[in-house]
Amino acid sequence: MRKKTTLITGASGEIGDALIQKLLKEGKTNLVTLDIRPLAPEISRQITHVQGDICDQSLLARIVSEYEIDAIYHLAALLSTRAEFTPEAAHKVNVEGTLVLLNIASDQSQWQGKPVKFIFPSSIAIYGLPDLTEKANFLHVREWEWNNPRTMYGSNKLYCEMLGIYFSEYFRQLASDRPVMLDFRSVRFPGLISAFTVPSGGTSDFGPEMLHAAAKGEPYACFVREDSRIPFMAMPDAVKALVDIAAAPRSALSRRVYNVTSFSLSAGEFRQWVLKYFPQAEISFEPDIKRNDIVDSWPADLDDRIARKDWGWNPDFDITRSFEEYLVPNIKMRYQK
Ligand code: SER
């Protein structure tokens, strides 16, 4: 008998790390994780980790032969800045990797006779506003507005959302025997901030980088202008969004892709919050015009009212709680060690 399990890809990344800890805390130990990198030693003892490439079909075939997968959290991705330097590699991981996983979820749904849940973090990067005037005109962007990404990563995420919808609703639509289809559910995240890890390769990284540098007592030159504004969310809320959308009854979901957000800050305001807790921090602004253009194309805020209405989305951490109760105490502890 194959063991029932939840598969988590990109498990060694920022979201993966936090998600695994949350699931383990909730007593969910039947996890198989996959990542090109090893897992943090303190969590790898508790679960089965497979180290390898999500595009490696034979590796995935081995996982499928050993486990009955009832849900997939597909987190593996190359983020927006890194993807601009290696667009083909990004496409391979972000799109081809997702396609492989969707096919696995699809086969598993058919074999098990019930839809396998496919949970997919999408991103603010799927939006693309043409200029700062429109950005100021459309402060709270809704799911169907401005779906014009200007990065490889944003394009990959938007296309994968579409693939997820296709595999859930239209796959083999012309065949006489329609298969049992998977159940794709996705949230579009703003910039995420963790107290325990520093992101790498993203374009929203200026926020977390500023905070972690301050806690380490290192000077930081922010790569966007002071007025550059995007929404953010503390990592515990990000994993809560993933777990909650996975748990929602299908009948409550009027869509497959939802905006979720918590608070919106300009880089200058972010600096002020950091200075409140780390008054000695040396934070300057040395904008990188190209990375700033990407941030400028992302909305100043997201409208997440459909998620709130359909599945009760509500972040636990607003700006004050994020800094006071989650980020600052944990970051201080981390760097004091
Ligand atoms: N944090 C991501 C990035 O900056 C956006 O989703 O690429």
127 is catalytic: no
Confidence of residue 133 (pLDDT cuts 50, 70, 90): very high
- Note the pLDDT of residue 246: 98
Q: How many CA atoms lie within 13 A of 79 on its CB side?
A: 19
Q: Residue 13 domain-assigned?
A: no
Report residues whose beta carbon is within 6 angstroms of any ligand 1 atom: 79-80, 123-125, 153, 189, 191, 202-204
- Note the pLDDT of residue 44: 81
Atom 2 (ligand 1): residue with closest C-alpha? 202
Index of the ligand 1 atom closest to the CA of residue 204: 4
- Note the pLDDT of residue 114: 95
Confidence of residue 177 (pLDDT cuts 50, 70, 90): confident
| Buried/exposed 1-31: b ≥16 CB within 10 Å, e otherwise | eeeebbbbbbbbbbbbbbbbbbbeeeeeeeb
Average pLDDT, the chain: 96
- Note the pLDDT of residue 204: 97
Q: How many CA atoms lie within 13 A of 73 on its CB side?
A: 31
Report, as an integer, the average pLDDT of 182-198: 97
- Note the pLDDT of residue 17: 93
Confidence of residue 2 (pLDDT cuts 50, 70, 90): confident
CA nearest neighbour of 302 among 259, 265, 242, 258: 259
Q: Residue 270 domain-assigned?
A: yes
How many domains in the chain? 1
Q: Residue 15 domain-assigned?
A: no
- Note the pLDDT of residue 40: 85
- Note the pLDDT of residue 263: 98
Report, as an integer, the average pLDDT of 191-215: 96
CATH number at residue 108: 3.40.50.720
- DSSP annotation of 205: T
Q: Residue 71 domain-assigned?
A: no
Range among 32-41, 53-62, 237-246 rated most confident = 237-246
CA distance 326 to 103: 38
Residue 135 pLDDT greater than 90, yes or no: yes
State how far the alpha carbon of 202 is from the alpha carbons of 79, 89, 208, 302, in Å.
5, 15, 11, 18
Q: Residue 60 domain-assigned?
A: no
CA distance 228 to 223: 10
- Note the pLDDT of residue 41: 84
CA nearest neighbour of 241 among 123, 93, 142: 123
Distance from the CA of 147 to the center of ligand 1, in angstroms? Answer: 16
CA nearest neighbour of 76 among 109, 102, 48: 102
CA distance 143 to 163: 16
Q: Which of 49-58, 153-162, 227-236 has the lowest mean pLDDT?
A: 49-58
Q: Residue 42 domain-assigned?
A: no
Residue 329 pLDDT greater than 90, yes or no: yes
More confident of the two residues 3 and 241:
241
Report, as an integer, the average pLDDT of 273-283: 97
Residue 46 pLDDT greater than 90, yes or no: no
- Note the pLDDT of residue 5: 94
CA distance 315 to 323: 14
- What residue spans of the chain are helical by DSSP H? 14-25, 41-44, 57-66, 80-85, 87-91, 97-112, 132-137, 152-169, 206-216, 235-247, 267-277, 289-297, 305-311, 319-321, 328-336
Residue span of the structural domain in which 304 resides: 77-336
For residue 57, the Cα-to-chain-centroid distance in whole angstroms is 24
Single-letter residue type at 281: A
Confidence of residue 42 (pLDDT cuts 50, 70, 90): confident
- Note the pLDDT of residue 303: 98
pTM beyond cutoff 0.85:
yes
Q: Is 119 strand, coil or helix?
A: strand
Residue 63 pLDDT greater than 80, yes or no: yes
State how far the alpha carbon of 124 is from the alpha carbons of 133, 300, 303, 319, in Å.
18, 10, 11, 18
Catalytic residue among 153, 220, 258, 326: 153
- Note the pLDDT of residue 43: 84
Q: Residue 258 domain-assigned?
A: yes
Q: Residue 55 domain-assigned?
A: no
Residue to mutate (ligand 1; options 15, 186, 200, 203; most atoms within 8 A of CB) = 203
Report, as an integer, the average pLDDT of 181-210: 96
CA distance 106 to 177: 14
- DSSP annotation of 178: P
